[in-house]
Structure 1
Amino acid sequence: MLNQVCVLTIKVKDMEEGVDFYTNILDFKVAQRYGDTIIRLEHNGVPLILEKTAKQDTTTSTKVLLGIQSQNIQGDFQRLQEKGVSILSSKPLPCPPGFYFVIEDYSGNQLEIVEYVDQEMEE
């Protein structure tokens, strides 16, 4: 069932400026680094992910992306495909904590469907 918000991703042009803003201005704490382009921040409840994007991401066109947790990414991908939902990739894609794909609602809002493989990412 796809009804649990599990992550909020914020796309940033410069990772150091992004980390500086969210930690020094908004008092978040860096919880985990996934290389140079993805950082998870500590937050009360839903994890906040900073993702560096040098240019417009071809998978998503939004700068803030709501993530909905999947327990069966392949099954949910197939089910949404069968229902005619606009899916922006041909299959679930790997990401540091597991797999994801992006869908669009009827207004063009993008939502990320995520299945965690790394249990530490689940909160």
Structure 2
Amino acid sequence: MGGTGSKIAVISVNVHDMDQAVAFYTDTLGFAVRSDRGAPYFVELVNDGPRLVLQLAERPAKADYPSGACIMINLGVADVRAELSRLRESGAELLHDSLQESPVGPYFAVADPSGNVIELIQFSE
């Protein structure tokens, strides 16, 4: 990583409706709220890694996934087939109807209520 010693410290996810976003990230994806003292502008989620913060924005995202360049969050899961079924039943906005193959393992993508892309992947051994 260059000579700057840079590392990712915070991942900020811009969301246009904080209540919808918190419900999606907690109820649907299984995160917990670490701190909501900055609500409704900032809500920090529990994450084993860089800080994960939901940040209020004026409007939803318009990602051109998978063709356009964008930053995505990838969540490693133990059973991607079960997660696909669970999220389909939850009514989440799936961006793939079936599992996709990649060199590192099967995955699928879902959009959060603001249009941000989340990929869930089961890494191959």
Choose between structure 1 and 2: higher strand proportion. 1
